Chains A and B, each alone.
Chain A
Amino acid sequence: MIGAAGRFAERITEGFSRLWDDALATPREVVVLRLTLLLLLFYGPTQPLELLTRLLAFPMLLTRKLLLNRWLWTGLALACLASTLSHWFTQDNHKFLIFYWTFACCLAVWSRDPDRALHWNARLLIPLVFTFAVLWKFLGGQVVSGEFFEYSFLLDSRFEALASMTGGLDASVIEHNRNLRTFLKAFPAEGLTVDLSGNPSIRLAAAVTGWMMVVLEAVLALSFWRSFRRPESELHDWILLAFCLGTYTLTPVVGFGFVLAVMGYAQCGLEKRDARQAYLWMILLVQLAALPTMAILARLVQ
């Protein structure tokens, strides 16, 4: 039975290996545009533009002629823009990034060299995202003080496994804290205060986690800015892959991990075969965030 399972696993690995070989042999801009269309099909504009986006994107996936059609990409970019404008203050930040990337794809197919345009825009957008993310970590003050992750560990079930491992908190404490929050939202009154359950270990873990996140994002931003001068370096690719693996396989923001991985592939040098393959794997791995990965981890830890 173990032999059969091993042979099955080997076949799957070989299958993926052949798939990636085919993908890596395909012109980069074709792979990137197809991945972007998949991104838009699953994580693109919300209703009422979701249907229009799917009607445009699906046929574009089927033929190369439609894939590079300038007017269809213009339609997609306009759909993303309209969706962004109507959900400006309510949509998540990755929706903005998906719009910028779709805009870049639209400009790329209108340009003389789509691959160069996609490569450049991916290389510019990624460090811009993380520069602003790091800026907010300091402006907000709550990540560097530890308060943000203390809040997350005490109330956010996505961090239950981490809270359990680092501070000995279990699901009942998180539930207790969440119920107190629900109470305050049901009966708000100026100055009303409730004490939450926590402990010094959680506070320490929160501070450490916060600084780790700040340092990782700052290193990521700096490595990408540095790559403008040292394009042959692979450091920024592996840092981005590590960030995506650590963040988006555990927290359910699949769209963010997906678009970062697509942009990572677009800016990855053609000679960096391993990194390019890793980006393709990352697009699959971030889908794990759709599973209750953290809940499973929490159960295993307890």
Chain B
Amino acid sequence: MQFLTRWGPGAALVLVALSQLYLTRGGVLTPSKGGGFGMFSVTDIRATRVASAQAVTPGGEACFIFLAAAPDTALADRLIRFLSYPEAADPARIVALLQRLKFVRVDLAELARDAGVRRERLALAPPEYAEAPLYRLAKAHEQEQSVSLSSIRLLLWRLRFSGGRSTAAGPRFRVELLRGPGEGGSW
């Protein structure tokens, strides 16, 4: 058997897996992706990561952008990549895509409804979300009341899970900032 036939696929697997081990140092690449066979091993997965954005309204107010359900496929693909490994997704490009889109202002209750969050949880929302304007991506029929946001800052968060044995209170999530910001416009 020739050398490539005998060792090629195995060598490819080992090289990719070792490179994935290297890229997960620092906790930015989620271990469940990248070809290292780290799935079903850690709770740092796409389901426990979220991208959010802050922006400046045309009136000069700091606001939050809710990024779920991106209507633009290119944006959705980049956001998925951003969740797994932000460096590979080019955050500046995501910000540039967001700057080309339109947004509508919503209130806390509507945002929670869109996100599938129960009303009673709103009391737990950090005060900055109650105080600052909230925006989401405009749908096709909402273009008239929508605005563009030119100064945007992209953030990547991780929900760190702690099991019941490691905390006195029982199992919990704690939010931590994993990567940020990727910025566009003037801040």
Contact = CB atoms under 8 A, between A and B. Distances in A.
A239 interface: no
Given A107-B4, A116-B1, A151-B43, A187 B125 contact: yes
Interface stretch (A36-44, A65-73, A195-203): A195-203
B52 A125 contact: no
A56 interface: no
A195 B12 CA distance: 43
A275 interface: no
Interface residues of B, number: 69
Contacts of A200: 164
B93 to A, nearest CB: 15
A124 B171 CA distance: 40
Interface residues on A, range: 35 or more
Contact of A111 (B5, B48, B66): B5
A188 B39 contact: no
Contacts of B74: none
B179 interface: no
B88 A107 contact: no
Interface stretch (A14-22, A138-146, A276-284): A138-146
A115 B164 CA distance: 51
Interface string B63-101: 000101000000000001100110010000000000000
User: By CB atoms of chain B within 10 A, which of A130, A136, A203 has the most?
Assistant: A136
Contact of B36 (A132, A147, A206): A132
Interface stretch (A24-32, A93-101, A223-231): A93-101
Interface of A: 88-93, 96-97, 100-101, 103-104, 107-108, 110-111, 113, 116-117, 120-121, 124-125, 128-130, 132-133, 136-137, 139-143, 145-148, 150-151, 154, 179-200, 202-203, 206, 213
The 9 A-B pairs at the shortest CB distance, nearest first, are namely: A136-B38, A147-B163, A186-B115, A140-B42, A89-B85, A96-B35, A189-B126, A185-B50, A188-B157
